[in-house]
Amino acid sequence: MRWPMFSRLAVAAAVLLVGAVSPLSGARTAWCAPGISEVRIHRDVTVRQKDVTLADILEKDTLPAEWRSIAENLNIGEAPPAGSEKYIDPGQLKAYLAKLFDSRGVDASEIKLDIPDRIVVRRESVQITQEQVEDIFKKFVSQNSPWKQQEITVQRVHFSGLPLVPVGQLSWVVTPSSPKERYIGNVTAQIEFYINGEKVRTLGVVGRVEVFGNVYLASRPLKQNDIIGPSDLEVRRIDITEAPDRFATRLDQVENRRVIRNIGMHQPIELKNLDKPLVLKRGDPVTIVYLQPGIQVTAKGQAKEDGCVGDSLSVINVSSKKSIVCRVVDSQTVRAIP
């Protein structure tokens, strides 16, 4: 692309052409720099910084020190993005240099200008490697995943093209594609790369996150209505990526729970096949609460059957020896049902 830099240069030249006011005479004079006889321009220019100065395109060895200082402080435009080029128009450059010399009290017609017919400007760049992208993605998953780090493996990290970025201080920010990302299965994210604090590239990344967890299995065949105890359980590590919420992974999810459907020996226990946790067993002592408008009465009782919170079951009132129907409140309390 042709570089639209001379809109800036024109402004710079206009400023340079305005002389300073002499404190002695009050007349407008031009500040004179040391003599210069020749200026040579590079055909191919590569810069590291974001902005390009006049000194970047000049062969500075042909310039006196003070002219080099002047050129280093003249910004002629922004460098192209990494991987692309910009071009400087030789004619415009020649006109600009003539105005610059005149503004410094130098006759431009006496200076030999060696300007190529094609001037190309590039920005020095570096390519992000496959290994860097994978490492960034894996660390992001590890730091944000709700699963324990030792349960996670990240595989098959994919993205389109290796990013080419300018040389400089590299940093990045990673964000999940969805705010509800669970970091399991196919996980997608965006990596924003920054050079010297300025964003230069956004890369979409997808990786396969596999999660392995300890799952409770039946150590013996469990039949419908069985209450699970510690001896009925064994633990095995399996891949739960496709259904992380399907199986029991904690003891409190299975112990003292009633089996709704038969479970085979060594079969992983699915949560859908378990009832609520059992909080009362037949014969357990309980407190019976009788509620009536404006009054509450309690009595000692004894459960006649097993029950979960919210279940209705028969309880014997120890004092009256009568059996009444109650609803389970917790492991020690039931409420009489009118």
Radius of gyration from C-alpha coordinates of the chain? 40
- What's the CA gap between 25 and 112, in Å, rounded? 34
What would the pLDDT profile of 74-95 be if each residue is shown by its tens digit?
A: 999 999 998 889 999 999 999 9
Answer yes or no: is pLDDT of 121 > 50: yes
What would the pLDDT profile of 15-55 be if each residue is shown by its tens digit?
A: 322 222 222 223 333 444 557 888 999 999 999 998 999 99
**CB-based contact 199:237 (threshold 8 Å):** no
Answer yes or no: is pLDDT of 3 > 60: no
What would the pLDDT profile of 236-267 be if each residue is shown by its tens digit?
A: 999 999 998 899 999 989 988 889 999 999 99
**CB-based contact 108:102 (threshold 8 Å):** yes
Strand, helix or coil for residue 100:
helix
Answer yes or no: is pLDDT of 234 > 70: yes
pLDDT attached to residue 34: 59
**CB-based contact 316:297 (threshold 8 Å):** no
pLDDT attached to residue 66: 87
How far, CA to CA in Å, does 271 sit from each of 147, 186, 218, 244, 274?
Answer: 19, 24, 13, 11, 5
How far, CA to CA in Å, does 141 sit from each of 44, 147, 161?
Answer: 43, 10, 21
**CB-based contact 172:193 (threshold 8 Å):** yes
What would the pLDDT profile of 181-199 be if each residue is shown by its tens digit?
A: 999 999 999 999 999 999 9
How far, CA to CA in Å, does 20 sit from each of 15, 32, 73, 93?
Answer: 11, 11, 18, 25
**CB-based contact 128:44 (threshold 8 Å):** no
More confident residue, 11 or 195: 195
Tell me the pLDDT of the chain averaged across its residues.
87
What domains can you pick out in the chain, each with its CATH number?
6-123 (no CATH), 125-277 (3.90.1210.10), 281-336 (2.30.30.760)
**How many CB atoms lie under 10 A from the CB of residue 241?**
18
**How many CB atoms lie under 10 A from the CB of residue 52?**
23
HSE at residue 152, side-chain half, CA atoms within 13 A, is 23
